[in-house]
Amino acid sequence: MDRILALGRDPAERDALSRALTALDRSHGLAEKARREPDVLTVLEEFVARLQRAFGSVAALRGKRILDIACGSNSSRSPETGARTAAFEPWFCRLLYELDADAVGVDAGDLGGEEFECHSVDLSRIGALDFLPDASFDGVHDSRLFGSPEFRELVKNEPMRESIKMEIRRQERRLLKRGGVIIHTDNP
C-alpha cells in the first residue's frame, strides 16, 4: 500500500489516500486480496494516477459526481484465466466513495453490498445508459469493458462490438457536464 501512498503529492493528499486505503481494507479486505493478487494494488495505483491527471489531486474529488461504466463487480473474472478475481472488483468506485466523491457504478455483474450508487446494466444493449440524465457527471470513466470475458462472451459479433463502442462514446459525451472530463476510456 506504500506504493499508492507514495503517489500523494503533499501531506494532505497522502493522508486522504491513507484514510481511503484503511477504509477499503476494513470494508473489503484490501490487504488480504492484495497479498493473494498483487495486481489489485497495481489497479489502484492506476486509478489514483488517472484521478490526479483528471482533477489535479484526489482532494479535488470531494463532491464530484463520477460515473464508472463497467465498474467491475464481485463476480468479475480475469480475461486471462476466466477465474474469479479481486482485481476486477469495483475498486474505482470504492476509492471514489472513500475519497468523498459521489460515485456511480454501472455493471452487469454482482454489486450487492456496495456503498456507492450502483446500477445493474446490460451494456451490450444500445440505450442501456439512457436512464441517466444528460450533463449529470463531472467525470466519466470506462476501463476494461471491451476486453472483459463477460462482454466478449455476450457480444461475439465484432460489428456489434463496434456499434456498442460508438454508443458508449455517445453516452459519455451526453452524460458529461460542461467542463466535465473523461477520466479514462478504453474506447478509442
131-167: pLDDT as tens digits? 999 999 999 999 878 877 778 778 888 888 889 989 9
Give the total number of structural domains in the chain: 1
pLDDT, averaged across the chain: 92
> Which value, in Å, is the radius of gyration of the alpha carbons in the chain?
16
pTM, rounded to two decimals? 0.93
Q: What are phi and psi of 118, to 5 degrees?
A: -140, 150
Give the whole-angstrom CA distance, residue 32 versus residue 78. 18
| Average pLDDT of span 47-73 | 95
Share of the chain above pLDDT 70, in %: 99
Give the whole-angstrom CA distance, residue 40 versus residue 127. 31
Cβ distance 172 to 142 under 8 Å? Answer: yes
Confidence of residue 77 (pLDDT cuts 50, 70, 90): confident
**Residue whose C-alpha is closest to residue 173's, from 143, 129, 116:** 129
Give the whole-angstrom CA distance, residue 121 versus residue 172. 15
The CATH number of residue 87's host domain is 3.40.50
End-to-end CA distance of the chain: 31
Q: What is the pLDDT of residue 188?
A: 60
Q: What are phi and psi of 23, to 5 degrees?
A: -65, -40
Confidence of residue 48 (pLDDT cuts 50, 70, 90): very high
Greater model confidence, 58 or 147: 58
Helical residues (DSSP H) of the chain, grouped into ranges: 2-5, 11-28, 30-36, 39-55, 91-98, 149-154, 158-175
Q: Residue 20: which domain range?
A: 2-184
**Residue whose C-alpha is closest to residue 19's, from 58, 72, 56, 66:** 58
DSSP category for residue 127: T
Place of cell 460515485: 103
Query: Residue type at 132?
Result: L
